[in-house]
Chains A and B, each alone.
Chain A
Amino acid sequence: MSGENVSKRHPIFTADAWGFRASEQMPETINRSPSKLFYVYLMAPAIALLAAITIYPFLWLIYMSLHKVKLGPVDDKWVGLKNYAKLLSDAKYFEGWVLLGKYSSMCLTFEIIIGVTLAVILNNSRFEKPLVTLFLMPMMVSPVVAGLLWFYLYNGTFGWYHWLFESLGLLGGASILGRPETALYGIVIVDVWQWTPLITLITLAGLKRVPQDQLEASMVDGSSPIRNFFSVSLPNIFPFLLIAILLRFMDNFRFIDAILALTGGGPADSTKLLPVYLFDVSFKFFKLGRGGAIAFSLLVVTIILGLILVRIFEDPARKQAMSAQD
């Protein structure tokens, strides 16, 4: 086909006009077309606003972490890395990390076990749709309201769940949030109540994409349903679970609303996870410099987790497996 020939044709006869092209996603014409500026204009307001409300605070955070921040008209005093050095000898800071890890792994263990079991059951149930609708209601509750609701349920005088624990002979009459040994379990239960449905939803999305031919082949080979689950379904839903785990893990860094409503970090600092400690340092003791240093370290870890998450997001093999329709 000569160039002359093509130019004579009406555009409707070209393959492009019908959407037949090797790559639909990224047509090469865009790069050549002068309308690139169009995209830049469309993008500019959002990027500018986002930069103003995130980069500027981030620089502020670094500034604060390098100063002794004085409230009032006095100038802040440059202290270099002193705020960071102090963290190294701060037992509560390390305890905060340990509690955050303990809390997150306990929440995730329960949420995954219950959430995946539920998803497997629902996937084979006639009532999947109505049940899922009912199950996901706790996710809509504002975390601070969820915290206050459970604060009431756990209350030593009026709480019905406290009464239930007592009647079952658990806890020896003490309120679950009242003792350092049990308070952490108390806040874990609330997280499990609120966020198990998310794991169920993600797992269900994964189970819908388990290739039927693999299941059938395995069945023909005579494997039991349980064997089937562990050797066919589970490997297929694994990438979904991985994303669920990372997301929940990061949310535990992000949100402390429920914990603030339930215990505020007590008793005896037994629920003072690092973000809660950071809240106290900044907004109770107003040590903004030290708060900045803690916040910065928390941010660094989150960004590392985020990098891992995005790596999984963009893994081509995973993308293909997860978007394949059956």
Chain B
Amino acid sequence: MASREIIRYDNSPLLRLAKILTPIFLAVYLVWTLLPLFIMVMASMKDLLDAFDTPDAGDWGGVAMFFDFTPTLKHYYVLFAENNFGVYLFNSLVASLGSALVAVTLGSMAAYSLARMEFRGKKDLLFWIISTRMAPMVAVTVPLYAIFRSLDLVGTLPGLILAFTTFNLPFAIWILKGFFENVPYAIEEAAQVDGCTRFQAFLTIVPLVAPGVGAFLVLCILFAWNDFLFATIIGSGGAKTLPAATKELVQPQNIDWGKIMAAGVITTAPMIPLGLLVRKYLVAGLTMGAVRE
């Protein structure tokens, strides 16, 4: 990294142009990224229909209208008081945390074994595991719904946890396998030499992998929390989660935008800090461990 400073280019006109354009590009991109989120938060605090009006086309000064409203938390209040969002929030929490815990507990056990044991057909087993994670959600939903209906799991939290586990468990196994592979076997071996049993030896490396396992637990929560398709089809009825409930607020007529945006904020708000918390593991998590930072 230090050697980067050595590289200096002459001030060619092209480079000077790039120097001017770079901040502009960054500024435009920043606005493009954050503006929709900003509008969502603002709209969630608008009540009267007038507040949602947009100016006439081409009336650039009319942008001021966007800020012309009395902020209110009415929509948030109504969502919890009348639309059962407390229940949906609870469902979201239980379903995502439940599936993340199942996935990471079972997943880390399996991942550890797969990292340490060599056997014939291991590659095929691994490919099967990752392929279950890659399957298109809609394609999986149809048979899963049919099976869960016959087991009376549709519309229940255990059913939803199980459904989320179909994508979280293969994710956890695959990513944690790579993680355990980076822990030298010598540590466990030394522990065994010191008289630990095989299981105690496994426990000696737990503190080493704990931060990573924790981060991937958070990612599993994020994936499950943000899911819509399973939540709306497997969870329909008794186990509706926040994304499914938010979508249901959309009516064919007289859409209450303020309310929908408030529901969007409720769904999104907890996930942004969680995502930033595991920032270091985000790239590994989102690329199934193929790319590490």
Q: Give the segment of B69-77, B83-91, B141-149, B204-212 that binds chain A.
A: B141-149
Asked if A230 CB lies within 8 Å of chain B CBs, one says: no
Which of A24, A27, A193, A302 contacts B135, CB < 8 Å? A302
Q: Which of A36-44, A79-87, A101-109, A176-184 contacts B (4 or more CB under 8 A)?
A: A36-44
With a cutoff of 8 Å between Cβ atoms, the chain A residues found around residue B233 in the complex are 283
CB of B26 within 8 Å of the partner chain: yes
Q: Mark A30-56, 1 if CB is under 8 A from B, else 0.
A: 110001101110110111011001101
Report the Cα distance A244→B287, complex, angstroms.
Answer: 8
- Residue contact A215 to B53, C-beta cutoff 8 Å: no
In the bound complex, residues from chain B placing their C-beta under 8 Å from that of A162 are 54
| Interface status of B110 (Cβ within 8 A of chain A) | yes
Q: Let me know if A205 is at the binding interface, CB within 8 A.
A: yes
Roughly how many angstroms separate A208 CA and B127 CA in the complex, as a whole number?
A: 29
- Answer yes or no: A234 CB below 8 A from chain B CBs: no
Q: A275 contacts which of B54, B136, B193, B227 (Cβ < 8 Å)?
A: B136
Mask, A292-326, CB within 8 Å of B = 1, is 10111011001101110110110000000011001
Q: Which residues of B contact A19 (CB under 8 A)?
A: 184, 186-187, 189-190
Q: Is A231 close to B, CB under 8 A?
A: no
Q: Contacts A205-B291, A256-B229 given: A193-B32 contact, CB under 8 Å?
A: yes
Number of A-B contacts (CB under 8 A): 321
- Judge whether A148 and B260 touch: CB under 8 Å: yes
**Option from B173, B226, B292 in Cβ contact (under 8 Å) with A142:** B226
Which residues of A (140-168) have their CB < 8 Å from a CB of B? 140-145, 148-153, 155, 157-160, 162-163, 166-167
Alpha-carbon gap, A303 to B136, bound state (A): 10
Taking the nearest CB of chain B, how far is it from the CB of A196, in angstroms? 8
- Decide: B228 and A143 in contact? CB cutoff 8 A: yes
Interface range, A side? 35 or more
A99 close to B (CB within 8 Å): no
CA distance A296 to B140 in the complex (A): 10
B147 to chain A, nearest CB (A): 6
Q: Which residues of chain A are within 8 angstroms of B30 by Cβ–Cβ distance?
A: 131, 134-135
Contact A25 B247 (CB under 8 A): no
Cβ-based interface call for A93 (8 A):
no
Other-chain residue from B9, B29, B131, B146 in contact with A135 (beta carbon distance below 8 A): B29
Chain A residues closer than 8 Å to B81, beta-carbon distance:
none
Q: Is A235 an interface residue (CB 8 A)?
A: no
A42 touches B110 (CB 8 A): yes
Asked if A255 lies at the interface with its beta carbon under 8 angstroms from chain B, I say yes
- Not counting A46-B106, A278-B136, A299-B136, a sample of 14 additional A-B residue pairs whose C-beta atoms are within 8 angstroms of each other reads A17-B193, A27-B185, A30-B185, A54-B132, A61-B142, A136-B282, A138-B37, A149-B261, A162-B54, A201-B282, A219-B9, A224-B12, A257-B228, A295-B138
- Interface set of B (CB-CB < 8 Å, partner A): 1, 3-4, 6-7, 9, 12, 14-15, 22, 25-26, 29-30, 32-34, 36-37, 39-40, 43, 52-55, 57-60, 66, 102, 106-107, 109-110, 112-114, 116-118, 125-127, 129-132, 134-144, 146-147, 162-163, 165-166, 169-170, 173, 181, 184-187, 189-190, 193, 198-199, 222, 225-229, 233, 242-244, 246-247, 250, 257, 260-261, 264, 267-268, 271-272, 274-276, 279, 282-283, 286-288, 290-293
Between-chain CB contacts (< 8 Å), 20 pairs? A17-B190, A19-B187, A42-B112, A43-B113, A46-B106, A53-B163, A54-B140, A61-B139, A125-B26, A131-B30, A145-B243, A150-B36, A212-B3, A224-B12, A224-B14, A247-B290, A254-B135, A292-B142, A295-B143, A309-B134
The list of the 5 closest CB pairs from A to B, nearest first, reads A19-B186, A295-B139, A46-B110, A166-B57, A142-B226
